[in-house]
Chains A and B, each alone.
Chain A
Amino acid sequence: MKILVVCGNGLGSSFMMELNVKKALLELGKEAEVTHTDLTSATSEKADIYIGAGDIIDQLDNGVRKIARIVNMMSIPEIKGKLAPLL
Chain B
Amino acid sequence: MLYSNERRDDNLLTELLHRETIQITNEVANWQDAIRFAASPLLQQNKIEKRYIQAMIDSIEQHGPYVVLTPKVAIPHARPSDGVNELSMSLLVLQKPVYFGPDKAVYVIIILAATDHSTHLQALVDLTQVLQEPSQIDNIIGCKRAKCVMDKIKQYTTKERL
Contacts and interface: CB of A to CB of B under 8 A. Distances in A.
B74 to A, nearest CB: 10
Interface in A26-55: 39, 52-55
A13 B70 contact: no
A56 B128 CA distance: 20
B128 A9 contact: no
Select the residue from B62, B66, B114, B117 with max chain A CB neighbours within 10 A: B66
A9 B77 contact: yes
A12 B124 contact: yes
A80 B61 CA distance: 29
A87 interface: no
Contacts of B149: none
Given A16-B69, A55-B65, A9 B79 contact: yes
B63 A56 contact: yes
A8 B59 contact: yes
Contacts of A76: 132
A47 B112 CA distance: 28
A54 B100 CA distance: 14
Given A9-B79, A11-B112, A74-B131, A16 B66 contact: no
Given A9-B79, A72-B71, A74-B70, A15 B124 contact: yes
18 contacts: A8-B59, A8-B62, A8-B63, A8-B66, A11-B120, A12-B120, A13-B66, A13-B75, A16-B69, A16-B75, A16-B128, A19-B124, A19-B125, A20-B128, A39-B63, A55-B64, A74-B69, A74-B73
